[in-house]
């Protein structure tokens, strides 16, 4: 396991894989602000499935889950293998799709739910980071 802390953004890699070099902390700051404390965890399909089952009553794996813990603290869990698989469905390369997913998770932590307002916010941040 490797861990990195930058700008109130802790990144933990619980997998054996290498993480892409994306500006996670800068994206977090743009969407949620510099004072927001985020824990970003890259983990296995089984762990995402377990979390999905416990917290969303869905017994299947997923590529991302986000959990707001308070107005200024949250967690995002991502499975790189599932994200890579899903990237093909959206005709995006895996690194681009990972950034796309991360911004999606951040907007959920901001309190937005699926709909036109969330889409507009995601589009604004994707443009800012060239995604």
pLDDT-derived band at 4 (thresholds 50, 70, 90) equals low
Q: How far is CA 72 from CA 32, 67, 111, in A?
A: 8, 12, 11
Domain range summary for the chain, segments of one domain joined by +: 2-128
Are 81 and 61 within 8 A, CB to CB? Answer: no
User: How many whole angstroms separate alpha carbon 124 and alpha carbon 128?
Assistant: 6
Residues 67-89 pLDDT 10s: 999 999 999 999 999 999 999 99
pLDDT-derived band at 6 (thresholds 50, 70, 90) equals low
pTM score: 0.90
pLDDT-derived band at 107 (thresholds 50, 70, 90) equals very high
CATH 1.10.390.10 fits 2-128, yes or no: no
């Amino acid at each position: 396991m490797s861990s990195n802390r930058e700008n109130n953004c802790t990144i933990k890699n619980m997998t054996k894989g290498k993480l892409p070099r994306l500006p996670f902390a800068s994206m977090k700051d743009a969407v949620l602000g510099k004072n927001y404390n985020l824990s970003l965890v890259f983990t296995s399909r089984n762990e995402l499935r377990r979390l999905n089952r416990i917290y969303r009553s869905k017994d299947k794996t997923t590529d991302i889950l986000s959990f707001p813990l308070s107005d200024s603290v949250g967690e995002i869990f991502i499975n790189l293998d599932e994200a890579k698989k899903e990237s093909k469905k959206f005709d995006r390369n895996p690194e681009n799709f990972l950034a796309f997913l991360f911004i999606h998770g951040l907007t959920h932590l901001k309190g937005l739910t699926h709909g036109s307002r969330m889409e507009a916010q995601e589009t604004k941040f994707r443009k800012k980071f060239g995604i």
